[in-house]
Structure 1
Amino acid sequence: MLPAYIPNSMAAVFGGGRPIDGGRVMKDGRRILGDGKTYRGLFAGIVCGVLLGLLQTALLIPVSELLDISFPSFSGSGSSTMVVLLSLASGSLFGDMFKSFFKRRLGMQRGASLPLVDQLDFVLGAWIFTYLSCTGWFIMNFTRNVMIAVLVISPLLHLTTNVIGYLIGVKKEPW
């Protein structure tokens, strides 16, 4: 899940610039996504997610041998490593954008808290993109137990990283 976890943080770190929605509003008078979703953040987040996945791939065999543990790879079941990594990373960001779209429709401001949805939107986006593009790999690696673990761990990791982002000045809110 690391290639899906890192893109949102890196989008916040490297983001800024032109918003994806171009400042456009919908018929309800609200922005489509808002200023927090930028092209630079989107591309930086995807690149960082893919790079982290490639690093994991490079370390897979040495770490597996060192710890005498078998770790899953980002390929197999007819899927290539790059497709899996791009699906996890881009799905993560698109899941977050999808949530932002609906938060705007609900009249929520940028940064407003939506408990659990804020902590799991990127997970669901990553899973949907990866399932659609790499079904066999997804089914082989995301067993019921793995999915439960991700759903339990992700909110805790999300809150921790957001507090850190807030403390170092990258985020305006600690959630």
Structure 2
Amino acid sequence: MQIIYNLLFGLIIYLPAFVANGTAPFIREGTPIDRRKNFNDGRRILGDGKTFEGLLVGVTFGTTLGGIISRFLGIDWIFYSAIISASALFGDMLGAFIKRRLNIPRGGRALGLDQLDFILGASLAIFGLRISVTIYQFLFVAFVAFILHILTNYIAYRLKIKSVPW
């Protein structure tokens, strides 16, 4: 039972990252973070899918969840959740940057990178903030993120919210 509790607590630590990553794409129009500039390889730095408005919405929702977690766990999680949320979205932006360098267009598939870039970004913040996460918690969260990303994108495709199922 303790193992399950520990795994679920690891998931709670990462919940602001999940929420930030899941809410940012709801902003379909906005100001691209890369200001529509190209990198030295001639391709967009990030693309139109990464906007200042999406970043703000994602961090806001992730931080709000941190406030809710604070109420239930009795710890001040708001500051941590803001950093974790922002770092998750920066991880997602790094994933977009890598995809552009690999000449994968916006919406193109990059198995593994698409599902885990935000988890890696959040993990850097978690470790930097000296929040204790075991390797088992990290692997469990990565597994959940991988499966949820595939499942939710497929559902969004079936509901005609997304044009591709990944």
Is TM more than 0.5 here? yes
**2:58 alignment counterpart:** 45
Deviation at 1:165, TM superposition (A): 2.7
**1:81 alignment counterpart:** 77
Residue by residue, what CA displacement relative to the aligned partner does 1:71-114 show, whole Å, maximum 9, x if unpaired?
Answer: xxxx4xxxx52331012111110000001001111111001111
Give 1:95's match in structure 2, choosing from 80, 91, 101: 91
% identity of equivalent residues: 38
Structure 2 gap segments, 5+ residues each: 1-13
Question: Which residue identity does 2:27 align to in structure 1?
Answer: F
Question: Which residue identity does 2:54 align to in structure 1?
Answer: G
**1:161 alignment counterpart:** 152
Give 1:146's match in structure 2, choosing from 127, 130, 137: 137
Q: Does structure 1 retain, via aligned residues, the 8 Å contact 2:58–2:89?
A: yes
Q: How many residues align?
A: 153
Query: Are residue 33 (structure 1) and residue 33 (structure 2) matched?
Result: no
SS at match of 1:54: helix
Name the CA distance, whole Å, in 1 between partners of 2:138 and 2:68: 23
Q: Does structure 2 retain, via aligned residues, the 8 Å contact 1:3–1:52?
A: yes
* TM-score, structure 2 normalization: 0.84
RMSD: 1.6
Structure 1 gap segments, 5+ residues each: 62-74
* TM-score, structure 1 normalization: 0.80
Query: Are residue 130 (structure 1) and residue 126 (structure 2) matched?
Result: yes
Deviation at 1:150, TM superposition (A): 1.1
Distance 1:127 1:115, change over 3 A: same
Question: Which residue identity does 1:162 align to in structure 2?
Answer: N
**2:3 alignment counterpart:** none
Q: Does structure 2 retain, via aligned residues, the 8 Å contact 1:12–1:170?
A: no
Distance 1:174 1:13, change over 3 A: same
Which structure has the larger Rg? 1
Query: Are residue 13 (structure 1) and residue 26 (structure 2) matched?
Result: yes
Residue by residue, what CA displacement relative to the aligned partner does 1:1-30 show, whole Å, maximum 9, x if unpaired?
Answer: 110101122111134211001110112110
Distance 1:170 1:53, change over 3 A: farther
Question: Which residue identity does 1:122 align to in structure 2?
Answer: F
**1:105 alignment counterpart:** 101
Deviation at 1:168, TM superposition (A): 3.6
Name the CA distance, whole Å, in 2 between partners of 1:26 and 1:15: 23
SS at match of 2:33: coil
